[in-house]
Amino acid sequence: MIVETVYLGRDNTIDLLLKDEKGPVDLADVTKVDLVLSDTVTVSDSVPTDYPIQWSGTGATGKIIMQLGGEDIPAGSYRARLIIYDPSNPDGIVWDELGIVVK
């Protein structure tokens, strides 16, 4: 499992590349991305060009960028689920789990 660190009050980013068997996935149809940290905190975004969660809107780039230092997340260690929504998956797909340490 990947473990990433979030520094509260800082502009550091977590950059992820989403791939399937064909390579980077096309995120053009994505309507929302959630990051659920240990079922207690959810960071959600539905605007692909804004933070806290940003993704490329067209093409097979598959890149997700999260800037979480300005979010209201208590310090600690979390097991986080990345959930991707699109018109074909209105209830979302759990793409992956990752560890997040908030300092």
pLDDT in tens, 46-101: 988 889 999 976 555 889 999 999 999 999 999 999 999 999 999 999 999 999 99
- Residue of higher predicted confidence among 9 and 61: 9
pTM above 0.85, yes or no: yes
What's the number of CA atoms in the CB half-sphere (13 Å) around residue 32?
A: 18
Q: Which of 74, 65, 89, 86 is nearest to 37 (CA)?
A: 74
Which CA distances in Å does 87 have to 7, 31, 54, 84, 93?
33, 7, 18, 11, 11
**Three-class secondary structure assignment of the chain:** CCEEEECCCCCCCEEEECEECCEECCCCCCCEEEEEECCCEEEEECCCCCCCEEECCCCCCCEEEECCCCCCCCCEEEEEEEEEEECCEEEEEEEEEEEEEEC
Q: Which of 52, 7, 2, 4 is nearest to 32 (CA)?
A: 52
